[in-house]
Amino acid sequence: MEQTKNKGNSTSNSSKNSKSPSRTNKSSGNGSKSSSQAQQSSLLQEFFLDELKDIYWAEKHLIKALPKMAKAATSDELRQAFTDHLEATNGHVARLEEAFGILGEKVQAKKCEAMAGLTKEGDGIIEDTEKGTLTRDVGLIMAAQKVEHYEIATYGSLAQLAKTLGKNDLADLMVKTLEEEKEADQLLTSIAENNINVEAKEE
Tell me, residue by residue from 126 to 145, as one string, x for binding to Fe ion by CB under 5 A and - for no binding: --------------------
How many CA atoms lie within 13 Å of 33's alpha carbon, on the beta-carbon side? Answer: 0
- For 111-134, give the secondary structure using H, E and C: CCHHHHHHHHHHHHHHHHCCCCCH
Residue 51 Cβ vs Fe ion, minimum distance, rounded to whole Å: 8
Are 43 and 33 contacting, i.e. CB atoms less than 8 angstroms apart? no
Task: Please state whether 43 falls in left (phi above 0), alpha (psi between -120 and 50) or beta.
Answer: alpha
Q: Which of 86, 114, 142, 165 binds Fe ion (CB under 5 A)?
A: 114
CA distance 186 to 86: 16
CA distance 173 to 59: 15
- Which residues between 181 and 200 bind Zn ion (CB under 5 A)? 181
61 binds Fe ion (CB under 5 A): no
If the CB atoms of residues 46 and 185 are measured against Zn ion, the closer one turns out to be: 185
If the CB atoms of residues 118 and 171 are measured against Zn ion, the closer one turns out to be: 118
**CA dihedral (56, 19, 171, 8) positive or negative:** negative
Q: Which of 43, 49, 54, 170 binds Fe ion (CB under 5 A)?
A: 54
Tell me, residue by residue from 143 to 182, as one string, x for binding to Zn ion by CB under 5 A and - for no binding: --------x-----------------------------x-
CA distance 41 to 59: 27
- Which residues between 143 and 172 bind Fe ion (CB under 5 A)? 151
Count interface residues toward Fe ion (CB under 5 A). 6
Residue 148 Cβ vs Zn ion, minimum distance, rounded to whole Å: 5
Sites of contact with Fe ion (CB under 5 A): 54, 89, 92, 112, 114, 151
Sites of contact with Zn ion (CB under 5 A): 151, 181
